[in-house]
Amino acid sequence: MTARDVADLGTLACVWAHPDDEAYLCAGIMALAAAAGSRVVCVTATRGEAGDPARSHQEMARIREAELAACLEILGVREHHWLGYVDGTCAQADPGEAAGRIADILAEVRPDTVLTFGPEGLTGHPDHMAVSRWVGAAAALVGNGTRVHHAAHTVEWAAEFKPALDGLNVFAEGLPPRTPTAELSIEIALPPDAVSRKIRALRAQPSQTDGLIGILGEDFLARSWAIECYRPG
């Protein structure tokens, strides 16, 4: 799939756990889809309150809410929903209630394509894993043929980029899963302008991205996130 094919994904609903998940995993797709005139809806389960242990949850919620608004503005995404769960507690939330709330959004939006985490949460984060379960249950409740796709990394990506991330607490042991390219449902190599916009979107969330950029550099970030991949959900 090329950047020109993004419009074929139709109406998009992108459901994530924390602000910045969307910037890493689907910023390019969202920006390209919005530019093509597709409806793009982003859903975020928490405000990322636990994103900095040196700050209170209330302060972090305010910071990350403003950062996500700036990120989505850069990407041209106008529709966003907060689910209002507390960072780090999604696994303890009522799964039926959470799935029902997402199902209500999906029933209204009627997306052709839903992007979210796989069962392992890509990184192993319990919030990511809970969101994956919620979205799967929500899609089953709505039952309108919506295609769910799970964020993925390829064997080649892991070989090239994961070593630099080891030791930075990005992935739990054994993760991310390595998906063979032939098994991907979506693989988009972002054109340079989309990569540039994605980096701007990441830069718009400095409370979470400045540290990583400071360690690895912006060039690494641009190269490692220049392809957005998903496997069938």
Q: What is the pTM of this model?
A: 0.97
Cα 233 to Cα 216: distance, rounded to the nearest angstrom: 31
Q: Residue 2 pLDDT more than 80?
A: no
Range of the domain at 36: 3-231
Q: Say what the pLDDT of residue 127 is.
A: 98
Q: Residue 215 pLDDT more than 80?
A: yes
Whether residue 131 contacts residue 163, with contact meaning beta carbons closer than 8 Å, is answered with: no
Question: Which whole number is the average pLDDT over 137-146?
Answer: 92
Q: How many Cα atoms sit within 13 Å of 211 on the Cβ side?
A: 8
The structural domain count of the chain equals 1
Where residue 24 sits, what CATH number does that domain have?
Answer: 3.40.50.10320
